[in-house]
Each structure stands twice: as structure tokens, then as C-alpha cells.
A = this chain, B = another copy of it.
């Protein structure tokens, strides 16, 4: 353990530059090494987080600065991806995406639930584990696909649309299991939650783009403030992220919808400026996933076995569930969709944290879920590379603006 860790205290004026240089520097170094080895740079950035984290080198522990940058990072990642997607393209695949989302929620839930019951866990713990296996973290997949210029593929659009729907379903599952843990299930309240979340998502996805078509050209040239169009885009991003949280879905869904609403009207300059922000912040999101991996949970051999079983179940259930949902598009696209929905990332961890906070989930199972979340995220990028082999990559080598992360 290097002495760097000693510097990390809140009262230290070096904390911000130190956190920045250690996390960003190691993430980019590992990304460079992985790219040179022909592997996805994203995996390198997550591994960098594990490497510098408390259970390996011990250079860095999660702190408030990194949390803020990581939360902002995933927000800008999804915003940037949204800027490359036309909402009409996403609408076209809406039906298939809905099927993919539903089958990809049902199978992981029941599999996780069943495994925990077989392992002898209490009923509520089994239900929470199932819930933690439901939510897809679209950030990783979107990052890989955007980085390779593959967002235009049909499978990619289905993955993005399904991930948005998946987030709404995940919210419902979480609300349901939380109210079960509190011992009172209010069906009316659940329906209301569902209705608000669905209405928000559907309205913004459906009419956001059209509204911006009217608003942006009128405002664009009339602003006195410098980079006014970028400032307006950021206001929409932050506003819709906030509304998304109020509507009950994740802030990143709002961020993605904001990007998509602007994708057809906004000038190239806004996309470039956004790329600058996402290039800076996304490594903090990726390394942050690795930093949060907690290895103390794996003290007993039983937990290690459980973790491996859960990991396999998490990979297979999403792959089969989502793949079956997209099977009518042919085997190739079904495989791509199935692989793209595998990563759980930070979403699974949030569910596990809520369960832990409610006293429903034991520390060992919590560690298992965090391990599953990180491991599915590490597994996805190489699998995606394999599933998309032969696809025409939309490269923009002059300025590289299509690449993220």
C-alpha cells in the first residue's frame, strides 16, 4: 500500500486534484493497455477502479468527489448517446423492445429468487436478490456501442429502447418488493407509480423531438450569451434528469431522453462540447464501479459458491430472456440483444443497498450482488465485441466524435 491513501481526507486541499489524477490517470492508462491488446477499453477502466481500490493497491477509496463525478459521468454518457439516436428510429423498434424488456425482467427475477430459496435464504431476501438481478445498466453497453460506432445497428436500437423500458419495469419491481418488505402492498399506489413513470417516458420520447424542432431554431440565433445553444441543451438535460427522478425513474433515463429530443435539431458544436464533458467524466463512472467492489464478503466458501452460481444465473437469464424476446429478428440480432442486456452495473448495487438498509439482505448476499453487478459489467464488452463481429462500424476518423469512453 502506497502512502497516497493517507492524503485522502476531506480537509485536504489536495483531495480534488489527487482524486482526479489517480482515478482518471489509471483509468486511461488501463484503457490504453486494453485497446493495445485488442480488448475493450471500458473493461480496462473498470479494472483500474478495482486495482486502485481498497482491496488491491489501496490508493483510493470511494469519496464524495468521485461519487459526484461518477453520477455526472453516467448522466453525460447517456445524454451523449441520446444525441446520436433519432427518437423515430427507437419508436420503430418499440414493440420488440417491450417484449425484450419484459422477458428480460421475468426470467432473471424468478431465477435469482429460486436460487436464494434453494440456498435456504429467507423469503424476502430471495425476492430482493431477484429484484437486484432485474435492472440492466445501459451505460456500459451504450458506451461500447457508441465507441465502436455501432449505434445505428437494429440490435443496438432495440437494446437502448428495451433498457429504457427495463428501467421503468425495474422501478416497479423495486417498489413492489420494498412495500412487501415494509409489510404493506398498496396496489393503487403501485399502479399510480407505474402510470407516472410510463407517462413521463412515453411523452418525452414521443413529443420531445417534435417540440425541440419548433423551439431550437427559434431560440438558436437569438441568444446573446456565448455558447448559448450548449447552455440551453444542458438546461434541458438537467431539467429532464430532475423530472425523471420526480417521476420515479432514474436520472439517466431523463438524460438519454434529453439527448434524443435534441438529436435532430442541435448543431455539431453542441455535440463536440458534450463530448468534451463525457470524455472527462465517464472514466469516473467506469472506475467508480470497480472501486465499489467489496471483497470482504467472500470470506466463507459458501458465499463464493453462491456468488458464482448467481453470476452464471445473471448472465444466462438475461441472455436467454432478452434473446428469446428478440428471436423473431433472427439469431444474430437475438444474440446481440441478449448480450447487450447482460450488464447490471450500478443499478443492481442500488437495489442491494436498499435491501441492506431495510435489514432484509444479509451482508454476504449483499457482497454477492455487488460482485454479480461488477462481473456482468466486465463480461459484457468482450461478448458484445464477439456478437457484433462483422458489423459495419460507422467510423469518423477525422475527429473521432462518435467514440465515447
Contacts and interface: CB of A to CB of B under 8 A. Distances in A.
A14 B242 contact: yes
Nearest to A271: B276
Contact of A400 (B13, B31, B227, B275): B227
Contacts of A362: none
Interface in A20-78: 20-21, 24-25, 28, 31-32, 35-36, 41, 64-65, 68-69, 71-72, 75
Contacts of A191: none
A235 interface: yes
State how many copies of this chain the complex holds: 2
A123 interface: no
A35 B272 contact: no
A272 to B, nearest CB: 5
Contacts of A274: 276
Nearest to A281: B277
A241 B16 CA distance: 9
Contacts of A28: 225, 228, 231, 235
A298 B341 CA distance: 58
A75 B280 CA distance: 13
A133 interface: no
B238 A21 contact: yes
A39 to B, nearest CB: 11
Interface string A259-282: 000000000010011111101100
Given A17-B244, A272-B276, 14 more contacts: A13-B251, A16-B72, A16-B251, A17-B241, A20-B238, A21-B239, A24-B234, A24-B238, A31-B225, A65-B68, A68-B68, A68-B69, A226-B400, A226-B405
Interface of A: 13-14, 16-18, 20-21, 24-25, 28, 31-32, 35-36, 41, 64-65, 68-69, 71-72, 75, 147, 223-228, 230-231, 234-235, 238-239, 241-242, 244-246, 251, 254, 269, 272-277, 279-280, 399-400, 403-405
30 contacts: A13-B245, A14-B246, A16-B71, A16-B75, A17-B75, A17-B244, A17-B251, A17-B254, A20-B241, A21-B239, A21-B241, A24-B231, A24-B234, A25-B239, A28-B231, A32-B228, A35-B225, A41-B225, A41-B226, A65-B68, A147-B226, A226-B400, A226-B403, A226-B405, A227-B275, A269-B399, A272-B273, A273-B279, A275-B276, A276-B276
